[in-house]
Chain A
């Protein structure tokens, strides 16, 4: 009989319940989308952060002097194949001259630099081949200094050695790189007469701060005599941004759930008014408050489960769409979000059904008298 009355209650109040269901589904959809984004965003953002430059540097103890150069063979020991490693770029910095003016030449692996610094603005084209010995990238300040544009030629000297290169692109990084000229590692080594030597290696490593620290410690153990250090400023900035995003998502979900509860409350308050006569009658017939309330709470819980399920499905679509717009990649739905959404929706529905609890105080004699 419980389910028979329950079914008839749902049918009789479908108008009000539909309004409550819409509120619950909407709130659940946004909460579910944000929960999905929250779980996936950290991974997506860390991936994005890894295009913002190196977060680990490997260098001799006093990098900069000739005596402190490392052997390029360290690249074989760094573990480029590690799944945590996004990119690894060796650098040899050479003090060169373009005409009479000094300039810093940075010999590197172009393909790795491109992976690590995809946010650099390039006028012209990237040099795509790691060993391209005829092209270079020129920082925008250096290009301005030497009057270079994409396609321009430049001759660089270091002592008696010289090399002639074509500027493939002018890069804008917003930092020291803007004053440098980037060539292949081999060109820089030949010009400096330092074959097989590097000044430092920049690494882009994925993972949480603790995972990066663990990676750094392992690498330091594998490279005795070299400094392996994380770029703390970047790690701290990443942590701070992720923390803020998590906070933003948490408070947005809280706000949405409060608004949803208010929406459900409004519908349920109207429903409570409509049902006061029926409850008075049920009590007159010997229905206990607990037995009558069980019906209404079951109704609210069913509404929560249904609203949560609909909301989760909409939330998955919403998360994929937001993921595409914000990260350029669809957010993968997490199964763990489903029970979380249902629990939240049922909780909100039960909270919103508080006005129905007031029906427990209905005095049947007053209701039956028509007061």
Chain B
């Protein structure tokens, strides 16, 4: 079976700085991968390229049969709305839209909006009584749950989460991890960037980067 994600000899340069160098790995559909490594190791750069937010300098990145490096800006936009669900460390919700509208925004850019479906997505993350709240009226954990509902609303092939619990307390971290676990159990493919060994141990495999190179791929310690 063809892997959902194929990364071959990936290189990314920012002027003279080489952020990624010779990175290769594959991800099967339904896998939960933890991308780990110290700060500056290229984790976020890797996830941005996989999410179609950045172009690789060289090498191949193929997601669901689409080679990212060959897509035009317009095709990348379509790729992001169709295939990818983002969850960011900073939540990145639109501050003047309600929780419901933030989820519907992703629907709007994908195709057509469905308020009932968006409300149902928020209910699944336990926010049925927060639909009309603005991000500023929600706790960090609640904002991240809105972001997860938004990431899931268009049924993406790949969920990319960049330090999804980095700004949360332990209780909220546990809630978010439980949600990610449920998503994984439901068959979603998840790539999580994390510093946390605990989160890394929840994944199926750990892709570890050092200085922009693939250091090792390990199995979690359970």
Q: How far is the CA of A369 from the CA of B90 in the complex (A)?
A: 10
Q: Are B48 and A285 touching (Cβ within 8 A)?
A: no
For A364, the closest partner residue in chain B by CB is B53
A288 and B109 alpha carbons, distance in the complex (Å): 7
B101 adjacent to A369 (CB under 8 Å): no
- CB of B133 to closest CB in A, whole Å: 14
Give the residue name and chain of the A residue nearest to B79 (CB). A286
Q: Are B106 and A286 in contact (CB under 8 A)?
A: yes
For residue A4, CB closer than 8 A to chain B, the reply is yes
> How many residues belonging to A are interface residues under a CB distance threshold of 8 Å?
25
Q: Which residues of A contact B110 (CB under 8 A)?
A: 286
Please tell me if B25 contacts chain A, counting CB pairs below 8 Å. no
Counting CB contacts under 8 A, is A75 at the interface?
A: no
Q: Which residue of A lies closest to B107 (CB)?
A: A1
CB atoms of A287 and B77 under 8 A apart: yes
Asked if A291 is at the interface (CB within 8 A of a chain B CB), the reply is: yes
The minimal Cβ–Cβ distance linking A280 to chain B, given in whole angstroms, is 9
Is there an interface contact between B108 and A281, defined as CB atoms closer than 8 Å? no
Q: How far is the CA of A311 from the CA of B86 in the complex (A)?
A: 45
B contact residues around A5 at 8 Å (CB): 97, 101, 105, 108
Residues on B with beta carbons closer than 8 Å to the beta carbon of A8: 96-97, 101
B74 within 8 A of A: yes
Please tell me if A293 contacts chain B, counting CB pairs below 8 Å: no
Chain B interface category by residue count:
20 to 34
Contact B51 A284 (CB under 8 A): yes
| Structural contact, B97 and A286, CB atoms closer than 8 A | no
CB distance from B134 to the nearest CB of A (A): 10
From A285, A286, A365, give the contact of B54 (CB < 8 A): A365
Cα A284 to Cα B77 in complex, Å, equals 8
**Do B81 and A286 touch (CB < 8 A)?**
yes
B82 on the A face (CB < 8 A): yes
Report if B157 contacts A (CB, 8 A): no
B97 touches A285 (CB 8 A): no
Is A39 part of the binding interface, using a Cβ–Cβ cutoff of 8 Å? no
Within 8 A of A (CB), among B96-126: 96-97, 101, 104-110, 113
Q: Main secondary structure on chain A at its contact with chain B?
A: helix
- Count: A-B pairs, CB below 8 Å: 74
What 1/0 flags go to B71-97 for Cβ under 8 Å of A? 000100111111010101010101111
Question: Bound complex: CA of A323 vs CA of B108, how far in Å?
Answer: 52
Complex Cα gap A281–B96 (Å):
13
B150 within 8 A of A: yes
Interface class of chain B by DSSP:
helix
Expressed in whole angstroms, the minimum distance between the Cβ of A68 and any Cβ of chain B is: 87
**Docked-complex contact B97 and A281, CB < 8 angstroms:** no
Tell me the bound Cα distance from A278 to B82 in angstroms: 20
The reply to whether the CB of B6 lies closer than 8 angstroms to some CB of chain A is no
Whether B92 contacts A368 by the Cβ 8 Å rule is yes
Contact of A1 among B81, B94, B104 (CB under 8 A): B104
Contact A291 B96, CB 8 Å, known A1-B104, A8-B101: no
Instruction: State whether the Cβ of B44 lies closer than 8 Å to any Cβ in chain A.
Output: yes
Query: Is A12's CB within 8 Å of the partner chain B?
Result: yes
Q: A65 CA to B23 CA in the complex, in Å? A: 114
Residue A212 CB within 8 A of the other chain = no
Q: How far is the CB of A250 from chain B (nearest CB, A)?
A: 41
Decide yes or no: A1 and B44 within 8 Å by CB, A8-B97, A12-B95, A12-B96 being known contacts.
no
A240 CB, nearest partner CB in chain B, Å:
57
**What residue of chain A has the Cβ atom nearest to residue B93's Cβ?**
A281
From A9, A278, A286, A364, name the one whose CB has the most chain B CB atoms within 10 angstroms. A286
Q: Which residues of A contact B (CB under 8 A)?
A: 1-2, 4-5, 8-9, 11-12, 278, 281-289, 291, 363-365, 368-370
26 A-B residue pairings within 8 Å (CB atoms) = A1-B101, A4-B101, A4-B104, A5-B97, A5-B101, A8-B97, A8-B101, A281-B92, A282-B105, A283-B77, A284-B51, A284-B53, A284-B86, A285-B80, A285-B109, A286-B77, A286-B79, A286-B80, A286-B81, A286-B82, A287-B81, A291-B109, A365-B48, A365-B54, A368-B92, A370-B90
